[in-house]
Structures are given as C-alpha cells and as structure tokens.
Structure 1
Amino acid sequence: MGSKNSWLDHFVLGIWLSMILTAGSTQGELLPTPTNVTLKMNMFTLHWEWESNNINPVCEVKYNRAISKPNNPKMCRNKSLFQDEDTKEIDLNVWINFTVYSECPQNGLKSKETQLSTLLVSGNPNTAVRNFNCVWYNMEYINCTWLPGEKATPKVNYTLVYWLQNESSKEEKKVPHSRLFMDFLGTAKHCHQYKYKEGIPLGCHFKISNEKEELQLVVTDFSNENIEPFYSWMIPREILQLSAPNITNISRIVKDTIYVSWSVTPLKPSQSKSELLLTNLNNGKVNMYEETRNNSKEILLGDPDATYTIKIRSKKHDMYGDFPWSEWSEEKTISAEYKFRTMNIILAVLIPISVSILTVISVVCIKRCILCILPPIPDPGKPFGDPDNLQQLLRFKYANVWNTPPNDEICSVILVESPTCSTCSSSLE
C-alpha cells in the first residue's frame, strides 16, 4: 500500500515539474516586440505603422491591435491580421490608446505589447459642443443641432464645416502636429444657415450632393483657439428623419370605432412605421398604437361618449436601419358620440324645413318665369264694349252707335267793368 502511494506521489510530482518547465520555456521564448509605432492622420482617418523583426520560419506572425479610450477599454480590436499597419475611423474627441503585439498561433508565442497614447484635439476641456445631433431631414438637407460647452465663453461663435469622404480621402496622411488641424479645416466647406439663441449659434443646415457617401463634420470656434473642436461623421441616408405626417381623414365607422388615415412623404407606405397617440380628454388616459407598412388604421374606442385627441409620428421602417422619429403631427379632435347624435337630430329637422322653403321659392320663381315667357291671350270681346251693340253690328249694315251726351250745365258770364278815373279820361281827350 505504501509503495503504491509513493509511486502516485512521484507521478504527480513529475507532472507538476514538467508543467513548470514548460511554462518557463514558453515565457522565455517571446517574439520580438513591435517598435517605432507612428501615427498619421487624414481628416478623420488614423493610420498606424510599426516595425517588427519577426522572422520565424515555423509560423506566420500575426499582429493584434487594440484601440481604446478611458471609458471604453475595448473600443476597437482587430485580430489575425498580418500587415504591419492599420487604418481606422474612431472617435477623435478623446484620448486614444493604441496597443499592438505580435503572436505566433502555431505555438502560442506572443511578444510584449507596445502602446501609443495621444489626444488629437486641442483646446480647453468642456468647451466643445454638447448633445451634437444631425439628421437628413425629409431627404432635403442635413440639419445639425448642438448645445454650447459647459465652460465655453458667453460669446462663443461656433462654426460648422464638413467634407464628403471622397474629398477628404484625397488629403495626404500626415503626422499630427499643432497646426495640422487648422490645415485640414482650410479644405472644408462651410455651413451658412445657422440657428441662433441669445446670439450663440446652436444649429445649422446645408444641402448635400450624395446621400450615400460618408459626411465628416467639425464644430469649432475659428476665432478662439481655447475652444475645443468637436469631430463627428455619419452617412446621410442612415439618419433620415421624416417631416411630420399629415392626418387626411378621421371618421366614425360605427359608434365605438374610428378610422384614421394619414400621409407620409416622401416614402411609400410599405417603407414607413408610425405611432398613433390617442388621448381621452375626459379622464386623461393615453393609448399608443403602432402601424407598420400602412398609412391607415381602425381604432376601437373604450368610451364612445368621450372626446379624444389624436396625433401621429412616423419614421423609416426598422428593417432599413435605426432611424429617428419625425415630429408629432398636428393634433386632431374626435368629438363624443352624443354630440354626433345631437347633430343628427338637428340635421333631421333642418333638412326637411330647408327643402320645403326651397320648394316654395322655386315654384313661385318658376310661375313668374312662365308668365314672362308665355303671357296670357287677351279676351277678344272686351274691346267692343256692350255685347248688344256687337249683335247689332252683326245683323244690320249700320247701327246707332250714338250715345246721348250727358246734360251740360250752362253757366252765364257777366262782364264787370271797373270805373274809369278822371286822370285817365283827361289823358284820352
């Protein structure tokens, strides 16, 4: 029994010693460490190069690289790449740590890591713009908005400049230096349509020629070197924001069901996704409905006798990517069912009365028009006076048509002469 235990102890000891020796030999056989790591940049593109003396006939040496920043230690990591250079587009607004080491997959040998840390932007911290956001609004123009930096001066004058990727890629890659950033800004296009608040630019919009090409942007204050620049990039077609939908129809199908239709431009209904917000004004209850690939919906109302409001927002369907929502449409009101009943009663009374009045007016007008167009034929007997005289004319060649004139009243006329004066008589003599 004792011999068996001693044999087992020797076996375990041998395995332990072999593991130690193997580990020691592995640790001692390190690959050469990459040296002379250099960084070059072209606008938003960073290019690293390094040198290595790895000449190993038994394996193909691979280089593992990692790009990190303080809040995200594994922001970008590439493995199993054989070239001795790397080019990446990453967030240029923070410290960038680049790490590279060589590895031999056949035997697991690795080199020590080589690191390079750098901050590409200049200026005082917390002076760069915050909450920077851009959208391709309704396929018409790029609209960017931001807030001023927490420690920016009160009279900061932010300026937005931009490039398309094919334009920036033509620039030569250069080693970063103090004036390199300003040299790059000199090749950019400037945005001119700014939105101001209290004299500070907080947004700008501009048109682009190619929505499929990457757009690269910088916001900074050219007149103040203490303001930290802000970098960003995006592809316009991936940030499409639609304009607010237009509600075209709201109607009650039955007592407790409404039909809503709307239009979304410039997309087809099959490309859009919409949300409908229905609010009960009696109790404040809010219901959200979703409709995909269609611009109409039937909604069952919980309380037909309540008044509701409805508004809609839309975006491009999720199957095409993650797109921002549009603004809410104009809010529409849906009246309560009892109001519809009252209106129906009023219409049921007013319509017959209105029809009757219009009928009477129409009859009177038609009668007058007939009299004007077809006047009545006069009675031929009226121009001949007494019917007896007419009979005499028909029986005899002549008839006494003399009418005895009425008795005339004769009045006598007396001439009254005034007496002549003596003066007049003497003058006549």
Structure 2
Amino acid sequence: MELLARLCALWALLLCAGGGGDAAPAETQPPVTNLSVSVENLCTVIWTWNPPEGANPNCSLWYFSHFGNKQDKKIAPETHRSKEVALNERICLQVGSQCSTNESDNPSILVEKCISPPEGDPESAVTELQCVWHNLSYMKCTWLPGRNASPDTNYTLYYCFDQHNVQVMVKDNAGKIRPSFHIVPLTSRVQPDPPHIKRLFFQHGELYMLGKNPQNFTSTCLSYQVEVNNSQTETLYTLSVEEPICNHSEFEGNLEGTVCFRVPGVLHDTLNTVRMRVKTNKLCYEDDKLWSNWSPAMSIGKKTNPTLYITMLLIIPIIVAGAIIVLLLYLKRLKIIIFPPIPDPGKIFKEMFGDQNDDTLHWKKYDIYEKQIKEETDSVVLIENLKRTSQ
C-alpha cells in the first residue's frame, strides 16, 4: 500500500509538471502537529510529533529535522527522533514535512521544540568532568568544584549505561549546585591494566620476551612499548610496536594467550632490565592516548658480584680517611721544618727585668744567704789563725 501511495504521489507530481504554464504550482505541505520533547535516563532526549493536519492524501509524508545549529540533518518517515546529549546547554530541534526526500520540494514551515538546561547557577556546576575506563572493568570519574560552589559541598555521581555510551551526572543532594552532565562512549578513554612479562631469554644473539596481555584485551586491539635498560652502558632502549613480532612456532610449550617480541641490539653479557606497557589502538577504540602503567621489571644477563661491591664500599672510605690523616700529619711536620717557631723577645726581656713572683724571690734570697754565710765562715777561720801565730 505504501508503495502504491508513493507511485500515486509521483504520478501527481508528474501531472503538475507537464501541465504547461496553466498548471497550478505544487502545494506546500502543512506543518507537523503536537511536537513535544522528553528526557529518558540521564541524557537521552526524545522528540515526538503527529502528522500534519489537512495533508494531501496522495502525499507520502517524509519528515526532515535538524538541530538549532542546522547540523545533523535527518530525513525519515518516522514521527520521532532521539539523541544522546549532555544537557548542560539549551538544545532545540526543528521539524518539517514534505512529500518527498528532497528538502527543497515545497516543505512545510518548521516547528521547533527546545529543552532548557538544568536550573541553578552555571558557575556552581562542576568543571572538567572526565571519566576513564580502567581495563574495561570499572570507570573512574574526576572533576573540579565550580567557582561558586561551597567548599563543604557533598557531590553525588549518577550514571546510566546504554548500548554505546555511559551517561554521567554530578550534582549535590541539597540542590545548591547546578547538575553537570557528561557522555562517555564505551570505546573511548580506555586505559588497560599493565601487561605481564613471563620470560626473557637470548636466542641467536637476540633478546626474546614472552608476555601476557591484560585481561579483556586481545593483541589486535593493543599497541606495545618495550623498554630495555642496560646497566653497563647506562642506555635506555625503547621499542614501540603495533603487534607481536616473532613467531610462536620457534619456541616449545603451550604459548596460548602469550605475546612474543624480539628485541635486537641487546648485549647478552651485561645486566639488562626489561619492562613493557600497552595502550588501545584505533582499530578497536576511538582513541590511543592512555598508556597503561609499566609492568613489573624483569632482568636478564650477568649481575655484578654483591660481595665485591660491598667490600669496595667499606674499603674505599677507610683508604680515604687514612690518606687524609697521613696528609695532615705530613703537612704539619713540613710546616715546622719550613717555618720554625721564632722566640718571643718580649718574653725573654720580661724574665730578665720584669716582675718576679714569690718563688723566684725566695730562691734568690736563699742564694744570697748562702754566699753571706760562706764569706763569714772564711773570715772567722782567718782570724783564728792570726791569733795563734801571734802567741
């Protein structure tokens, strides 16, 4: 029946076009009626309308609609349209009707219906609302308080899953701030967990690494980065690859679920520390910016002797301290030889002519007394001898 109606409408248009100059112009369609708008979940806006009244029964109605910015145009026979949109601003839909899919073919006037943003001070709404999928297992959302929000505001996050997105709203229970909305596609802002290194080994002079992808991801949806740090040369080598680059058939054992990398240019006779990380690629996801954290590091190669290292740490400070002591003693002795001490003239004159203490005076008096006694004794002896002679 619908096909028959379209054929009739097309036949009517052809009759009008072939009627010559006397034919009446094509009739303009009346507008749609009862256009209304509603919101489901958190951010799903639904517009519905009824067919125009008094429409030509021979017209197969089509409806064209677009938003207020004249973007996202759509022409369809359905009398409804829905869109997921963050309701932080006013959004309007304009709808018209016509008898064909050509928008310029005598369309009706447009009917518009808008939905207003949530009530409240726009400066109180949270800002920089962002959500990240962690390993496709849980979502973490962060935001900053609004400029006019109270410091003691308690925020609550609401979310709703649909087929392609997660709808998020943040507000407070007291209703003092304006709600803020955000839509997160399920294929964007995905950060995998770190991968796991299972084994490192050298073969044919090259380093091979066997690893395991994080859960919920396959190799085709990941990009890889391998980092090798050589302890002897202190060089950091980074290898970025889009997919594993060695053949599993080269190795023994069950390697199901294992990724393999061949890292050239690695010295096998030194200690090498290896770690890896991953990110999603655009083959499976919308963005490729969020790297996972680095995996736990694994080392391969010859390690330095820890006993020798500790011994050197103990001996070197002792040798340095002994050398410093010997040097100080040598410098002191050398200073005495080169610059001998000069006597203090003042001290010499002070001892000769200066004030003397009690002990010095005592000894000097004692010396004088001894001299006096000796002289008197000698004198007495001489007198006695003279007397005896005279007699």
Shorter-chain TM range is: 0.5 to 0.7
Deviations 1:166-216 (A, max 9, x none): xxxxxxxxxxxxxxxxxxxxxxxxxxxxxxxxxxxxxxxxxxxxxx78644
- Please tell me whether residue 110 in structure 1 is matched to residue 107 in structure 2: yes
Distance 1:149 1:284, change over 3 A: farther
What SS is found at the alignment partner of 1:146?
Answer: strand
Gaps of 5+ in 1: 1-20, 166-211, 347-429
- Please tell me whether residue 290 in structure 1 is matched to residue 242 in structure 2: yes
Q: Is the 8 A contact 1:278 1:308 kept in 2?
A: no
In 1, Cα distance between equivalents of 2:64 and 2:35: 14
Greater CA deviation, 134-143 or 98-107?
134-143
- C-alpha displacement of 1:258: 1.5
**Structure 1 match to 2:53:** 53
- Please tell me whether residue 77 in structure 1 is matched to residue 28 in structure 2: no
RMSD between superposed Cα atoms in Å: 4.2
Superposed counterparts of 1:255-274, under 5 Å: 255=205, 257-267=206-216, 270=219, 272-274=221-223
- C-alpha displacement of 1:220: 0.9
Count of residues in Structure 1 that have an aligned counterpart in Structure 2: 267
In 2, Cα distance between equivalents of 1:118 and 1:258: 61
**Structure 2 match to 1:362:** none
- Please tell me whether residue 67 in structure 1 is matched to residue 67 in structure 2: yes
- Please tell me whether residue 97 in structure 1 is matched to residue 92 in structure 2: yes
Superposed counterparts of 1:213-292, under 5 Å: 215-225=166-176, 227-233=177-183, 241-255=191-205, 257-267=206-216, 270=219, 272-278=221-227, 282=234, 286-292=238-244
Task: Output the TM-score relative to the length of structure 1.
Answer: 0.50
Task: Output the TM-score relative to the length of structure 2.
Answer: 0.54
Q: Is the 8 A contact 1:307 1:333 kept in 2?
A: no
Deviations 1:102-142 (A, max 9, x none): 12228821122222333232222243333433344345433
- C-alpha displacement of 1:329: 1.8
**Structure 2 match to 1:300:** 264
Distance 1:268 1:109, change over 3 A: closer
Distance 1:48 1:54, change over 3 A: farther
In 1, Cα distance between equivalents of 2:68 and 2:210: 49
Q: Is the 8 A contact 2:133 2:140 kept in 1?
A: yes
In 2, Cα distance between equivalents of 1:39 and 1:271: 42
- C-alpha displacement of 1:307: 7.5
Q: Is the 8 A contact 1:315 1:323 kept in 2?
A: no
In 2, Cα distance between equivalents of 1:34 and 1:263: 59
- C-alpha displacement of 1:150: 5.0
In 2, Cα distance between equivalents of 1:106 and 1:114: 18
- Over the matched positions of the two proteins, sequence identity in percent amounts to 23
In 2, Cα distance between equivalents of 1:86 and 1:269: 36
In 1, Cα distance between equivalents of 2:209 and 2:224: 12
In 2, Cα distance between equivalents of 1:305 and 1:128: 60
- C-alpha displacement of 1:99: 0.9
- C-alpha displacement of 1:94: 2.0
In 1, Cα distance between equivalents of 2:226 and 2:211: 13
Deviations 1:139-169 (A, max 9, x none): 543333333345544333221123455xxxx
In 2, Cα distance between equivalents of 1:153 and 1:328: 35
- C-alpha displacement of 1:266: 2.1
What SS is found at the alignment partner of 1:109?
Answer: coil
